[in-house]
């Protein structure tokens, strides 16, 4: 298999799943995600992270991990915008929170590279579905100082200071490294994030796992958390634009990733140029992707990796897709 081949193939990925204690069962029941666990808290829809690799389920690379194929074939498939990263730059997850996740914070690149040997984590959450009163924790209600933050952790009063934001389907939240955050129960979301697993847990609702509380990382969290108040609207960054056969909404864009929602009603003509690969995750409905002389199905819960430089491709059907490019 030479390097030219992968550029011509759209890869369908089987995501690894995680059965964390707070997870539900919707990812397998409603999104068709294969899992042998009783619970699926997370499905890593696009992942080359060592803690969970996607496996290719179609074509000549079937059965191999995405990361294995990408490293064997060279870096051209990732696109020019990825050249500045040493490793695969992003990780995309579907997360089903039946219960509250711990309140946590991630370091930025500078701190993480120095202290953890990997990149920091900026992330974005797209609310795919949620209960009526669902909310997230997103930073602080008002500015507090470091001492107050420390005391609130030690005295178990942190929740009095955090900013609780009610969410609805279609909301998007950009969570810059250093922002305190938590997904609360009753939310199913898509997370696009830097490819990092460094998390500092600050508060865990006093829960026990195997009879013991999970470890907190208070000193590191104090080092990296921004204690300024923030404001969150959940509104996409761009307006919805009507295109030929579909509409497109820019959800969020930063120097790490650009995420759009494509609501395909009939067809969407798209292109993977040399700048970046394209990740497609189907959130609702069913479609098929046609390109060159091939096609691949894109059903709710499916994840496709379109290599940079593949050129034009077309989604046909009625399907809502999260499109991510670097």
Which residues are annotated as catalytic? 201
C-beta atoms surrounding 212 within 10 Å: 8
Q: Specify whether the CB–CB gap between 308 and 41 falls below 8 A.
A: no
Residue 131 Cα distances to 67, 97, 166, 205, angstroms: 35, 11, 10, 20
Please give the span between the terminal C-alpha atoms of the chain, in angstroms, as a whole number: 26
Q: Specify whether the CB–CB gap between 177 and 224 falls below 8 A.
A: yes
**What is the distance between the alpha carbons of residues 165 and 161, in angstroms, rounded to a whole number?**
13
Report phi then psi at 195, rounded to 5.
Answer: -80, 80
| H/E run at residue 239 | none
**What is the distance between the alpha carbons of residues 137 and 167, in angstroms, rounded to a whole number?**
10
């Amino acid at each position: 298999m030479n390097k030219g081949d992968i550029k011509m193939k759209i890869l369908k990925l089987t995501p690894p799943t995680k059965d964390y204690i707070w997870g539900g069962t919707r990812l397998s029941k409603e999104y068709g995600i294969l899992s042998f666990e009783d619970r699926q808290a997370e499905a890593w829809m696009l992942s080359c992270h060592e803690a969970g690799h996607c496996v290719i389920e179609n074509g000549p690379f079937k059965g191999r991990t995405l990361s294995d194929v990408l490293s064997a074939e060279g870096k051209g498939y990732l696109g020019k915008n990825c050249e500045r990263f040493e490793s695969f730059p992003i990780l995309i997850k579907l997360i089903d929170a039946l219960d509250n996740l711990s309140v946590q914070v991630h370091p930025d690149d500078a701190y993480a590279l120095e202290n953890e040997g990997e990149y920091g984590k900026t992330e974005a959450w797209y609310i795919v579905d949620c209960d009526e009163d669902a909310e997230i924790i997103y930073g602080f209600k008002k500015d507090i100082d470091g001492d107050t933050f420390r005391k609130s952790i030690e005295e178990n009063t942190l929740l009095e200071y955090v900013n609780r934001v009610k969410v609805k389907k279609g909301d998007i939240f950009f969570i810059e490294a250093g922002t305190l955050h938590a997904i609360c129960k009753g939310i199913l979301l898509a997370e696009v994030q830097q490819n990092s697993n460094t998390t500092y847990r600050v508060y865990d609702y006093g829960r026990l796992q195997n009879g013991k509380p999970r470890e907190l990382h208070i000193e590191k969290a104090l080092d990296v958390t921004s204690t300024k108040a923030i404001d969150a609207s959940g509104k996409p960054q761009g307006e919805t634009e009507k295109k030929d056969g579909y509409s497109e909404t820019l959800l969020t864009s930063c120097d790490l990733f650009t995420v759009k929602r494509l609501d395909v009603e009939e067809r969407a003509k798209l292109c993977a140029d040399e700048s970046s690969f394209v990740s497609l995750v189907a959130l609702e409905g069913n479609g098929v992707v046609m390109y060159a002389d091939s096609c691949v199905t894109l059903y709710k819960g499916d994840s496709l990796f379109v290599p940079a430089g593949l050129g034009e491709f077309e989604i046909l059907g009625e399907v809502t897709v999260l499109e991510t490019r670097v």
